[in-house]
Structure 1
Amino acid sequence: MYISVVIPVRDDAELLTRCLAALREQTRQADEVIVVDNASSDASAAIAASAGARVVSCPEVGIPAAAAAGYDAATGDLILRLDADCVPPSTWVEDAGAWFSRSPRCVAATGGARFIDGPRALRWTALIYLGAYEIATGSALGHRPLFGSNMAMRTDAWHAVREHVHRHDAETHDDLDLSFHLGSIGRIGRMAGQRMGISMRPLWPGRAFGRRMRRGTRTVRLHWPEDFPPYRWKRLRARG
């Protein structure tokens, strides 16, 4: 199985360096690493290129556009996604490939995470953070949501939905939007393996957390009325 890794980045050169270093230490190397430079003003693109990654330019600012550009560029059978501030465990690529080989009915999957920065006494709250996200979004989806800092999907599944995602709306929650579309064509599973190291930055005081909440709510509403929960659940039950 040929595996592509996609990393959207905007002005996060220092943490991207750490992320790429962790990818070089994988027990099973990715066949290609694609860094999507989302109009960075720092050295993110140069750092990616010097690390051997393929740099894709996306001048349209916004995570939905940048992530989609990376998925479009991927040539593998399987696309893995993480963020520039993530630190993958050493078996991440190997575990993902093995999981999809054992799960032919799944079109996508998501994995767990743990905080690797912020107050040490609060790092356990990653379980609450992800649990709350899964409960809140799962009730609208009718199935497991994808978590963009640790997710994977089959490339042919992306090709099936790429024209339908809201890639040009920067205020869309791209993980959730993709979950709506992929969940309509197949199963979304949970990958086994160690948890992804992620930053606590989304929970730091300021506007970041509120912005994510607004984007999530907006994304759910973008899919109404066709994906209003009772209608969606009925279609999913009929599909089995």
Structure 2
Amino acid sequence: MPSQIRQFAIAEVRIGRAKPFGPGTARSAIDKHPVTVPLLATALGLVGDEQADLRHHGGADKAIHAYSAAHYPQWVRDLPDAADQFRTGGFGENLVVDGATEADLCLGDRWRVGQALLEVSQGRQPCWKLNIRFAVPDMARRVQATGRSGWYFRVIEPGQIKAHDHASLEERPAPDWPLTRVNDLFYKDKLNRPALAAFAALSGLPDGWRNLAERRLQNGEVEDWGSRLNGPKEAIS
């Protein structure tokens, strides 16, 4: 069950532009920088922010990415040799969250952040670009295994957001589905049929997530995440 917190703080707001990233022709906007002026949150994200790979990033279901500041000290303890890499903004988040983690938020939660109303749409599924970002060959797998992935917000009501705003919980329609439970279902208890059926029945799920649950129920098989986690050959050679 999620914790009972009903508020958290926005320590930083960050945006970035797409640019070449790593080997080959890959591009990314993961390198986001803090801004101190208010930014308008729209249905497709913060004004001034970009996403390079629109097949896997951005869009209404991934309008704003949030990451908990509490995870950074944990990564430093886990990977001391890469400690200098673990600073806020490292995961390409738009919102650096102070006072909440994936255990504290549920799918469908609606939070008033500044003037905007945001809805928790899904957890982040880490990809191979994190391996390059942190110079840790299996970083994406570590993020997936730990559940320290961050999450995405939809923008239900556009409005301005700025650093040091507070987020207040307005609605929690799915209290049985904290993001930690979703992570466990996706990557640990992968073929729990009652849980998959309950998950697939939730309203407001992104199509990709509902389809994933329904495929597992129909086929009894789990997806191969290798391409997402390891990336193209030129990215890991």
Into which bin does the TM-score normalised by the smaller protein fall?
under 0.3
| Structure with greater helix share of residues | 1
What is the TM-score of this pair, normalised by structure 2?
0.26
Larger relative contact order (CA 8 Å, sep ≥ 6): 2
What is the TM-score of this pair, normalised by structure 1?
0.25
| Structure with greater strand share of residues | 2
